[in-house]
C-alpha cells in the first residue's frame, strides 16, 4: 500500500458513508420486476433515471422562473443552460431503450396494466413550467390529493415564457397589457406585441444583450425538448408500432401530434421575418 492509500478512511462505524448519503439501499432496491423477463430491468431503470433527471429539470426551471421575476438574469442563464445539458442526457436514454426489441417487450408489457409514461406527473410539471397547460389531465391524479394540488398550483402559475414576456415589459417594450394579467392556466397562443418586442431585441443585440441571451436559452430548451419528443416517438414506433399505449393514448399518433406544438412561437417566427 502506498503512503497515499494509507490516508484513505476505512472506519465508518460513526461516520456517514457514500451509500448512506445517497440512500443507495433505497434507490437500488426500487427496481421490482413484475415478470421474470430479463429485459424488464432495462425498462424500469431507463424510466426511473429519466424521472430523476426530470426532477432536476423542474428544480432548475422553477428557480430560473423566480430569478427572471427578480431580474437576476445571469443566475437564470446558468440554470437554463443546465436544463439543456440535462435534456441531452434524457435524449440519449432513448438510444439505450431502443435496444429493447418488440418480441422482448411483449414478454412483460401486459404486466404494466394501465400504467404509462403518459401519466408522468413530472413531465406534466415540465410542460406546465414551459407554458403548455392542459387541465383535463388532472383527473389522472385524483387518487393522490397532495400531488393533484401541486399540479394544480403549477397549472395556475406563470410559465417560463410568461415571466420572459414580463421581462420584455420591464425593459420598456410595449406589451399588450392583457398578457400581464392573463389566465396562466391556459396555453399561450402568441401576440403581435411580443413578436415586435423580440424582433427589436434581435435587431439590437448589444442594447438588449440580456434579453437576447434569454431568448436563445429558451430556443435551446424547446429545441432539445422537441428532439426528446421525436426520439420518444421513434422509439415507441420501433418497439410497439402503432398499437395504443398502455394508458389508453393513441401511442405514436399522439406523440406525433404533440410534436407540432410550439412553446415559444414568436422566437421561432422571427427567424423567418428577421
Q: Could you list the residues known to form a binding site, using ranges.
A: 43-47, 105, 109, 232, 246
Task: Provide the annotated binding site for heme.
Answer: 232
Q: How many angstroms separate the CA atoms of 259 and 271, rounded?
A: 19
Burial class (CB in 10 A: 0-12, 13-18, 19+), 94: buried
Residues 90 and 95: their CA atoms lie apart, in Å, by 10
Cβ proximity of 41 and 63 under 8 Å:
no
Residues tagged in the binding site annotation for substrate = 43-47, 105, 109, 246
Residue ranges of E strands in 116-169? none
Please calculate the CA angle 12-15-19 and round it to the nearest 5 degrees: 75
d(CA 274, CA 271): 5
Number of alpha carbons in the 13 Å side-chain half-sphere of residue 53: 19
User: 228: closest CA among 39, 86, 120, 64?
Assistant: 86
Amino acid at each position: 500500500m502506498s503512503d497515499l492509500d494509507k490516508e484513505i478512511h476505512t472506519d465508518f462505524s460513526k461516520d456517514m458513508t457514500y451509500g448512506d448519503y445517497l440512500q443507495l439501499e433505497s434507490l437500488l432496491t426500487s427496481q421490482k420486476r413484475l415478470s421474470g423477463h430479463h429485459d424488464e430491468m432495462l425498462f424500469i431503470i431507463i424510466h426511473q433515471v429519466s424521472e430523476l433527471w426530470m426532477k432536476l429539470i423542474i428544480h432548475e426551471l422553477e428557480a430560473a422562473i423566480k430569478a427572471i421575476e427578480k431580474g437576476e438574469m445571469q443566475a437564470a442563464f446558468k440554470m437554463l443552460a443546465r436544463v439543456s445539458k440535462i435534456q441531452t442526457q434524457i435524449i440519449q436514454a432513448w438510444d439505450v431503450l431502443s435496444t429493447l426489441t418488440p418480441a422482448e417487450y411483449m414478454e412483460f408489457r401486459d404486466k404494466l396494466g394501465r400504467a404509462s409514461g403518459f401519466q408522468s406527473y413530472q413531465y406534466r410539471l415540465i410542460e406546465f413550467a414551459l407554458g403548455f397547460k392542459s387541465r383535463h389531465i388532472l383527473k389522472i391524479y385524483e387518487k393522490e390529493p397532495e400531488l393533484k394540488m401541486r399540479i394544480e398550483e403549477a397549472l395556475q402559475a406563470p410559465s417560463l415564457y410568461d415571466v420572459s414576456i414580463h421581462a420584455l415589459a420591464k425593459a420598456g417594450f410595449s406589451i399588450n397589457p392583457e398578457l400581464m394579467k392573463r389566465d396562466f392556466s391556459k396555453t399561450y397562443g402568441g401576440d403581435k406585441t411580443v413578436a415586435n418586442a423580440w424582433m427589436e431585441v434581435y435587431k439590437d443585440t448589444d442594447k438588449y444583450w440580456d434579453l437576447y441571451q434569454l431568448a436563445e436559452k429558451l430556443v435551446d430548451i424547446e429545441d432539445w425538448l422537441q428532439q426528446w419528443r421525436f426520439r420518444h416517438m421513434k422509439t415507441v414506433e420501433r418497439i410497439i408500432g402503432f398499437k395504443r399505449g398502455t394508458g389508453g393514448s393513441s401511442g405514436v399518433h399522439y406523440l406525433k401530434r404533440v410534436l407540432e406544438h410550439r412553446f415559444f412561437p414568436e422566437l421561432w417566427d422571427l427567424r423567418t421575418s428577421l
